[in-house]
Chains A and B, each alone.
Chain A
């Protein structure tokens, strides 16, 4: 009360109105900033388009035939979603193995990460698609008929397995870093309450680590959508395969590859957007 009387009497509401004006100004500045960024994007897309037309790029051809390549989007997405889900489980197991005090678990996880990160994804795909069945044939001749057949995965299954194994190894390190970033005090508090090591991991450490890890999983998912193009070598009709093989028909490679590139780009833009929202929601969790 005593503070208010210090203001001149003809401007009693100076505070609220000024607050609104400041807010409005701030919003306006932000809007202009966003508009400027958008216009830079539009300008760049225009320059790119003009450049493409100089390459004797035929937009009409894309207009007529985009549907065929688009049919591959679902395949690409399905492959990536299934693979990132399995990769996440593998990465969790891998990270727990690497952080474990058990020498066998540590050895297994370390070997897995080293082997998979040290070899090209394409070669892993070949080995899983063509190599595993040969092991299966050997097993079959040894009398394990069912096991032998099981090792002959379809192209899609092989692709999912290869992508999962590969990303699982990279994500193992992400998970490990995430788990290690949780302060030691959390573990101490949990075990002094009587929780076992496993309960501590499951109830206290992982739920916190996941929040740190999720943005990285999102990035891996984006990368995976593009790496999934490699499964085209097994004849899976995803985006790249369709673009490549269709482009040969009328020697319109450039058109089809640019269409494929655009589709991947759109997929990653949508994924990043979802990932950003998820990240924001996570950042505001636990703030009741």
Chain B
């Protein structure tokens, strides 16, 4: 249904479960993709699986210079960056009273500030093309809060305000800026949870199950598509009804 033939997409955090699914979905819709992440091995594996129209552009987004460099590398590899998917993120969970300045700063740097830098760098080409899509992966906890994740929730909520402000500025240029907020998604990270922990989580989800990375990817694919051109400044919640906001 959604055709991205001829479009180019940069996906950060593509070595992870959700990022990999997003890159695969955009690629399956015809887009050329640039896969970014810190771990080059999984990126190369994914690129090999996808075959043609897949490029590997490693970057460490905790480095301030890396963000602008990444957009440049991706544009050099693909000719342009029409679609930017800000998916990379880290956690440094700790109870608020125990949280160090470093834990706070690291999470804000990678999860919020690097998205600002990447988006700013990518906008130049989008403005000239009079077409662009910025889709940022946030989290249900940005809307609900979560004990132990004061830094992460702050960054994710910050992304929403940032995206809305940017959406205002560039709407007249054919560029949309949206967020996708996943709930609990089954990935390598959630596999580590005990059955007891999983049971508690599932009790809070009306759908009665965890989400799949593909279900996040489908939301991103929609927002990246030409059909979603009138959707901007929005957050699409994909959480099985866990938080109806």
The answer to whether A binds B is: no
